[in-house]
Structure 1
Amino acid sequence: MPAPQVEKIVEIYRALAKFPSPTSARILNKNNQSQFSVVSSWTQRNLEYGKMTKFQVFHHVDVCTKKSSSALPTDSSNVLSFSVSPTEENSAVLRELPDNSNSTKKQQFLEVWEKTHLLKNYDLGALDVHGDVYSDAELGSFEWSPCEEKLLYVAEKKYPKSEPFYKPKSQEKKNNGNEDSKVTKGNEYLFRQDWGEQLLGKCESVIGICNLKTDIISILDGIPENFVPGQVIWTPDGNGVVGVVWNVVPRKLGLIFCTNRESYIFHLTVNGDFSLLSAKGKAVRSPRFSPNGEKLVWLERDAGGPHHSAHRLMCLSWATKESRIVVDTVSKEIQIQGGESFYGLFNLSLPKRCWTANSNGIVLSTPQKYAVNSFLVNLDTNSVTALKIDEGSLTALDVWNDVVICSNSSFNKPPVLLLGKLQNILKNIDKEESASVNWFQISESRPNFILKEIAYHYLTIVDKEEQNTSCNTFSAMYIGPNTSPRPGDLPLIVLPHGGPHSSNCNMFLMNIALFNLLGFGVLLINYRGSIGAGQDNVNFLLGNIGVTDVKDVRLATKEVLEKFPVHSADKVLLYGGSHGGFLVTHLSGQFPTDYKAVVAINPVIDVAAMFYISDIPDWSCVEANVPYNITGNIPIEAFEKMKKCSPLNFCSPSSPPTLLLIGKKDARVPGSQGMDFYYSLKANHVKTKLLLYDDNHSLSQVPVEMDELINAILWFFEHL
């Protein structure tokens, strides 16, 4: 297979980078049943700026004719958060701009807009009530009060100013005694632990309230010292807030991608009265009030254990404060309305607006084996009904007045926005037969002729040696050219996902499309331990990393080579990051002659060492199936077990050529893991190369992503 010129690779990358992805949508003009507007937010790679460009689009929708039109996009790259008031008379914007007096700093402004003009603008830095306002999905909030006179958000706590024990002062300050009495000495280097990977600098959150009538910003007090708050929303009467508090004593553990942290749904009144609404020993997220204010739902799982696993959907009566389980964790699978299979809830959040008009149902989206699927849950009957789509993943973004806006994409179809009315589903909610939603597209899409060359196939792989029949199968997906090359002509990239408790889903992924358009077939494996296939599937991997997951990748590769003769066993390549990097380095070490080349992105190489250097030390214990002790007092036998399952054991002179892509700011799998492996490969005289990026675990900065992808492709072509 001849290698294309670098210019050709860049040309295809640039073409794919022009496909934007939706991040949110909101239905407006909600009182009109047939015609309304939708405002959607999108992100797109901007290669010239070297960062993601954000923009908003307004869509006018006619439900009766199923037609829509879109206005020109408006850039919103400096907007961190955006919120529309309940009456839609006002909107609020949290904007971040460069600090004119200091090029290394940013300024945050809180803007309030009426329909015709900017009403208010608060310079949050100048007001100096708190630190930066959070806009991330794990902790952040940005909510209008029911009365539309206040804005609610989460921000970093303001810390006392500090200076050295000795600091020369100006003569004027000495003579006039104008020294700042609030400045403390000797605390400049005081350590404050943050939330780890991609949440660096977020140490202690506070609840901020901006009163638009008095122009006073205040901190809502009353959170006990052992808790920090996030994900806050107003109570229906506006006299308090509900949110999530995490227990941070004795320490914080990394939060992003980790739904297992001990946490509680809490209620805090404006008078400072604090109470917990959820049970002890749980991990919770995404509280959402019903439109009538009578119900509060959230996602919940047991605290501890795998970094991500199945959740329950909980519902609390706001009047009685009694909670119940609506959807329980699913061990393997259950049958839902219409005889569909359902594997449990593995979603990280609920849509901000997820309720049906009668306050008896919610819409949510969750990974289910091959794709992200959406469902309607009836809170009266606890029934679950699938919202079907022809292909790909369907992710709910907004629900209002029984109209739902979803994002839909697949491996060969970039994201579009679909609108559907829930009436047919709601009419049949208590019947055995299923009903369908008549979807229609409301966003305009770019021509995607090049993606028509891509086809995909779902695979179910059986481990015939496994005696446990409840966990002897797993899923995989093959994505390849929609043509018929000569047998054995195309190379195959084997790509296991990270986590390990995450999954590959059928949605538009630029790196997969790039590989395909350059002539590679791609195999994605949801090995046992992946989410979206029941909780038993997640638990099956614990204590078996480096064994079961490695075996599953081998089984899936064997099946693809048999089913798709365009590939041959002498052109198999490995590509994976994080736990996927753990797997590709395992595979290349244990079976070096089976693979032509390896690309490992921030790989886990030494599980025992990870206990001391990662922001999630409990991960090493859980995956090795040994008890985690937050004091660090771990038996030597536990470390031996961690060492035994590590890929570092299999580094040898016969290992295939290996490219390592490492982020210097990675707090999840610190760069020392990949560097240690690099030195081991060099010592064994294995051809290797390491690229070190000024980025975190995801390597998602636009210039970094482009560089690592193109370097990976060139590495593969060089060694075929």
Structure 2
Amino acid sequence: MALLNGTSFTLSTEWSQSETVRGARLHYAQQWTLIQNYSKETDIDIQPPSPCSLLHGELLSSYSPSGDLKAVVRETSGQGAGHQFLEVWSSGGLKKLLHLTALDKHGRVYEDAQFGCLAWSACESRVLYVAEGKRSIAESSASASSPSAGEPTDKSVYWEDWGEGLTSKSVPVLCVADVAKGTVTVLQGVPSHVSPGQGLWAHDGECVFFVGWWHEPFRLGLRFSSLSSSQTSNLSVSSPRLSPDGRYLVYLEGQVFGPHSQCLSLQQYDLETRKISVLVDVVNRPKKDEFAGLYEALPPRCWASDSQRVVFSSARRNWRVYSVNIQNWSKLFHLSLNPSAENFGSWKLLTIQNDLMVVHCSHLNEAPRLVIQYCGHSYTALVIQVTPIQSSGHSGYAYTTLWSFRLSPYNTGHSGYPYTELTEAYLCSFPGGPHSQFFAEWNVTTAVLVKLGFAVLMVNYRGSTGFGQDSILSLAGNIGSQDVKDVQRAVLTALADQTAEKLLTLDPDKVVVMGGSHGGFLACHLIGQYPDFYKACAVRNPVINAATLLGTSDIVDWRYSCVGLQYSYDQLPTPEALTTMLQKSPITYAPQIKAPVLLMLGGKDRRVSPHQGLELYRCLKSRGSPVRLLWFAEDGHSLARVDTQADCFLNVVLWFQQHLHLH
């Protein structure tokens, strides 16, 4: 976050690092002082950074508009563990402390990116955040007889939550802490059928904007999903961002249901005229090398200081920074980079304040760096003046051979979509979900695998984000076929494209495959459909049987959409639907599998039940096929615990080395 103070800026950053000895993820802070030149505002002098300082128990933090105050939501550990506090810090030290747990106005504060917020009012006297409502007075949509206000709650009553990654988050409420008075108020007036989140203050400090998710008739898994904030319009919105002058609100909008990551439009709401206009529309089929659409959340701060331009990142192959003018939105500008900075393939905007952008940049063979960029006041494209701030220091061990190639995919014979879209892949080596995307950016898993001697192929098959909405929609109904053939074609192309100039020595008899979730679905399809081609397989929480997954996943809507069927809340399984799901699942190819399979399953996975992996495990065991299962009882779908990640990586490497007979 860049903070203006006269002609000097304080850049405060927060970082995380995995520490494997204790199996913990450490969070620490570092600050830089940036001094702007009077005569040339793009000339920034960077002072040496402060030493890193460990952050203890910080769940959320936010600077006030002036930068003079910092709000922190902190949770204690040890004695009194689980107590939450709201702290307000100034340059003179701790200014205010509110014991949120003792005040007992609400439950735990939400720290997730889906609902959570910590927003200062313009007058810097109040802080807005989201917390779990007190269930003794909240309505339960899962109970036929919801408790009335003041009535006790039956502990055995089932309370719905918002699914994978949002466990225990059920009834969010908007809360306001008055810093001067030391009080907390739960805002009233939110409709009972709506769960609020992503709140921010209007410029007058009296009104609040928020995104509301319908939770009737029941909650579906919300994380990584495209769910409605308005059932009547069948649209989903997110990332509301208010302009510095308080007049304009921009936000992202997309369709409900269907693919859970879709191409989104950027909408603008004029608070004076109360008119909505489209700043950036959905891109159905991008032209070569042109803007391919918006797919990710907007940065928390994305407005230029003149309140006329919105700046954001979007990816097609690489992350790029774009700017759109709200008065002349027919033209979108790609902010060109200084030629000396083109080594970095991906540029992802983290924040912008007073026209100073903070950007994370990296490449597949360049470790991440933090840079500042001055975006100026021009409404036309400009060359960014790049000033490096920080490097992770690992660039020296990056691999040196890297290229991307684009393939004309197989025509799978399905009508309604012209198969002119291209599959893209990255192959990385030393010399000598379904709707997501591999970017040309640093990936530590890829880097270490390459360091160990593997060549890693990452495939953006049709259905990946970054190639337009038509490409995404083409995968619905074609899973298990289109995506599988695209990946296999990419592998064959990589093996055939070994020219003397590239100095690659890829062995077609030592090809292995790994993936997670839908990537695990793909990996198991590949070893089943091409049983003599792949020599080993490692999968994390894979989808094995879509028919048996239907009743156990927190996103039952996607189980219909992915096989090309429409979903509604009152949907009941039919024999035809279950047959379609089964036919498109890798379990049908299990008898053909020859490759040894390593399964890594999270016992608390609510997205893809661990019983999916167990189903394949038992099938392979009954046929005497080599299989090993790792069970992580306390992990969810992402297997994100530090010790779990280390365990999984080491076991994958050893599994591949063992079955490729490598030493």
Query: TM-score normalized by structure 2?
Result: 0.92
The residue aligned with 1:74 is: 53
Contact 1:503 1:526 in 2 (8 A): yes
* Counterpart AA for 2:128: L
The whole-number CA distance in structure 1 between the counterparts of 2:196 and 2:425 is 39
Match of 2:347 among 386, 394, 412: 394
| 1:698 equivalent among 622, 634, 638 | 638
Q: What is the DSSP-based 3-state SS (H/G/I as helix, E as strand, rest coil) of the residue aligned with 1:147?
A: coil
Q: Are residues 1:537 and 2:510 paired?
A: no
Separation in 2, partners of 1:52, 1:80: 13
Q: 1:395/1:209 Cα in 2 relative to 1: closer, same or farther (>3 Å)?
A: same
Unaligned runs of 5+ residues in structure 1 are 1-25, 163-180, 265-277, 485-498
Match of 1:149 among 125, 132, 151: 125
Question: 2 CA distance for matches of 1:63 and 1:414?
Answer: 27
Where does residue 229 of structure 1 map in the other structure?
Answer: 196
* Correspondence 1:687 to 2:655: no
Q: How far, CA to CA, are the matches of 2:609 and 2:310 in structure 1?
A: 40
- Match in the other structure for 2:142: none
How far did residue 653 of structure 1 move?
5.7
Is residue 289–residue 295 contact of structure 1 (8 Å, CA) maintained in 2? yes
Would you say 1:341 and 2:293 are equivalent positions? no
Give the length in aligned residue pairs. Answer: 629
Could you say if the C-alpha distance between residues 358 and 182 of structure 1 is closer, same or farther in structure 2, counting changes exceeding 3 Å?
Answer: closer
Question: What is the CA distance between 1:96 and its match in structure 2?
Answer: 1.1
Contact 1:282 1:303 in 2 (8 A): yes
Selected match of 2:407 from 455, 461, 471: 461
- Once the two structures are TM-superposed, the CA of residue 49 in structure 1 deviates from its matched residue by 2.6
Task: Identify which of 261, 272, 275 aligns with 1:319.
Answer: 272
CA distance in 2, matches of 1:439, 1:664: 46
Matches of 1:224 and 1:428, distance apart in 2: 41
Shift of 1:447: 4.8
| Matched AA of 1:133 | V
Q: Amino acid of the residue matched to residue 233 of structure 1?
A: L
- Tell me the secondary structure at the aligned position of residue 304 of structure 1: coil
Paired residues of 1:471 and 1:536 also in contact (CA < 8 A): no
SS class of match (2:562): helix
In 1: Cα distance, 2:449 partner to 2:244 partner: 46
Write the mapping of 1:509-524 to structure 2, written as runs, cut at 5 A: 509-524=443-458
Quick one: structure 1 residues 91 and 699, their matched pair in 2 at CA, closer, same or farther if it must change by over 3 Å? Answer: same
**What residue number does 1:184 align with?**
152
**Divergent runs of 4+, >6 A:** none
Q: Percent identity?
A: 33
CA distance in 2, matches of 1:360, 1:711: 52
Residue 31 of structure 1 deviates from its aligned partner by 3.5
Q: Give, in whole Å, the separation in 1 of the partners of 2:136 and 2:418.
A: 60
Q: How does 1:160-239 map to 2 (within 5 A)?
A: 160=136, 184=152, 187-239=154-206
1:448 Cα offset (Å)? 3.3
Deviation, 1:632, is 3.4
Whether 1:440 aligns to 2:416 is: no
Q: What's the offset of the Cα at 1:377?
A: 1.4
Task: Pick from 42, 47, 51 the counterpart of residue 20 of structure 2.
Answer: 47
- Partner of residue 247 from structure 1, selected from 201, 211, 214: 214
Q: Which shifted more, 297-306 or 153-162?
A: 153-162
- 1:35-65: CA deviations, max 9, x gaps? 3221111111111231111111101223445
1:411 paired residue among 358, 364, 379: 364
Question: Is the 2:57–2:77 Cα contact (8 Å) retained in structure 1?
Answer: no
Aligned mate of 1:649, from 563, 568, 588: 588
Contact 2:229-2:235 at 8 Å conserved across structures = yes
Please state how far the C-alpha of 1:127 moved relative to its aligned partner: 0.9
In 1: Cα distance, 2:321 partner to 2:652 partner: 34
1:313 maps to amino acid = L
Aligned-partner Cα distance in 2 for 1:320–1:99 = 53
> Distance between the aligned counterparts of 1:680 and 1:464, measured in 2?
31
Match of 2:528 among 583, 589, 608: 589
Contact residue 235 and residue 241 of structure 1 kept, 8 A = yes
Residue 443 (structure 1) shift:
1.9
Within 5 Å, give how 1:86-97 maps onto structure 2.
86-97=65-76
CA RMSD of aligned residues (A): 1.9
Q: Aligned letter for 2:183?
A: I
2:650 aligned to 699, 705, 710, which one? Answer: 710
TM-score by length of 1: 0.85
**Counterpart amino acid of residue 79 in structure 2:** N
Structure 2 CA distance for partners of 1:653 and 1:642, relative to 1, 3 Å: closer
Uncovered stretches (5+) of structure 2, i.e. residues with no partner: 38-42, 139-148, 499-503
Q: Is the 8 A contact 1:376 1:386 kept in 2?
A: yes
Q: CA deviation at 1:465?
A: 4.0
Q: Is the 8 A contact 1:464 1:472 kept in 2?
A: no
Q: Is the 8 A contact 1:332 1:470 kept in 2?
A: no
CA spacing shift, 1:119–1:427, aligned 2, 3 Å: closer
Shift of 1:367: 2.2
Counterparts of 2:186 and 2:650 in 1: how far apart (Å)?
A: 48
Q: Which amino acid aligns with 2:532?
A: T
CA distance in structure 1 between the partners assigned to 2:408 and 2:119 by the alignment: 48
